[in-house]
Amino acid sequence: MAHAAALIVVDVQNDFCPGGALAVPDGDGVVPVANDLMARFDHVILTQDWHPSGHGSFASYHEGATAYDVIEMPYGSQVLWPDHCVQGTDGAAFHRDLDADRAGAVIRKGRNPAIDSYSAFFENDHVTHTGLAGLLRELAVGRLFVCGLALDFCVRYTAEDGAAQGFQVTVIEDACRPIDLDSSLAATYEAFQAAGIPLIESSEVQRDPL
Ligand code: VGL
Ligand code: ZN
């Protein structure tokens, strides 16, 4: 049986859009592109960064720290972010123009106060599953198309973990925007190349690609 394809739209939330707490430059520019793409897939999954207040990835939680400092956590190094995507706030809501009703599932991540979660598959400890891989396998999905915010954080780690989980992963670059912090964008391109993850344009995505 041919493996189905799924589109994963990562973190298109108000806080990652202009005016938001952790605004990605031109973040809302992905909305029309993502909407067009969603109409081309039977399986659409959205992710939503969904932190409790006082989350361990927030600089405000660490005395003396400022946003964008990097600290060592038990699971590795962690960028400290401005408070963002706090559960139930307007900042955590999807961008109002995102066609979120198209999605069959929403994966909420970053809920554990002690561990950040960039990837839609695992928390940053690379141990704790979100359940996404199981969901995709149940749906007989073998190919993933990933887009959203931010290219060099949550899109990157979702794509890499998806590939490591055995899915065939493609990133749709014009439906992503980067933060580009300390050459994180260059590191992302290198990681994609190393993992065999191609970048394509949304115009190259056919309906129900197989
Ligand atoms: C993200 C930083 C912190 C993202 C989430 O969605 O890329 N980045 N939390
Ligand atoms: Zn976050």
pLDDT band at 126 (very low <50, low <70, confident <90, very high): confident
Identify whether 109 is a catalytic site residue. yes
Q: How far is the CA of 36 from the centre of ligand 2 (A)?
A: 25
Q: Best mutation site among 17, 22, 85 for ligand 1, i.e. most ligand atoms within 8 A of its Cβ?
A: 22
Residue 154 a catalytic site member:
yes
Q: How far apart are CA 48 and CA 160, in angstroms?
A: 18
- Compute φ and ψ for 190, nearest 5 degrees: -65, -40
Strands (E), the chain: 4-10, 43-49, 70-73, 76-79, 105-109, 141-149, 168-177, 199-200
Look up the CATH superfamily of 4-52+84-204: Isochorismatase-like (3.40.50.850)
Q: 175-209: per-residue pLDDT in tens? A: 999 999 999 999 999 999 999 999 999 999 987 65
How far is it, in rounded angstroms, from Cα 202 to Cα 84?
28
Instruction: Say how far apart CA 41 and CA 67 lie, in whole Å.
Output: 37
- Taking alpha carbons only, the member of 26, 15, 20, 49 closest to residue 176 is 26
Separation of CA 139 and ligand 2 centre (Å): 27
Within 6 A (CB) of ligand 1 lie 11, 16, 49, 81, 149-150, 153-154
| Residue 1 confidence (pLDDT) above 90 | no
How far apart are the CA of 179 and the centre of ligand 1, in A? 9
Residues 83/20, Cβ–Cβ less than 8 Å: no
pLDDT of residue 208: 62
Query: Is 166 within 8 Å of 198 (Cβ atoms)?
Result: no
Tell me the CA distances in angstroms from 32 to 19, 96, 97, one per residue in order: 18, 11, 8
Could you read off the pLDDT of 28-82 as tens digits, one per residue?
Answer: 999 999 999 999 999 999 999 999 999 999 999 999 999 999 999 888 889 999 9
Asked if 10 and 158 count as a contact pair (C-beta separation under 8 A), the reply is yes
- DSSP label at 81? B
Average pLDDT score, the chain: 95
Distance (Å, whole) CA 2 – CA 210: 7
For atom 3 of ligand 1, the residue with the nearest CA is: 81
- Residue 176 known to be catalytic: no
Per-residue confidence (pLDDT) for residue 80, from 0 to 100: 96
Q: How far is the CA of 73 from the centre of ligand 2 (A)?
A: 15
Q: Give pTM, 2 decimals.
A: 0.96
Ligand nearest to the CA of 81: 1
User: Sorting pLDDT into bands at 50, 70 and 90, what band is 125?
Assistant: confident
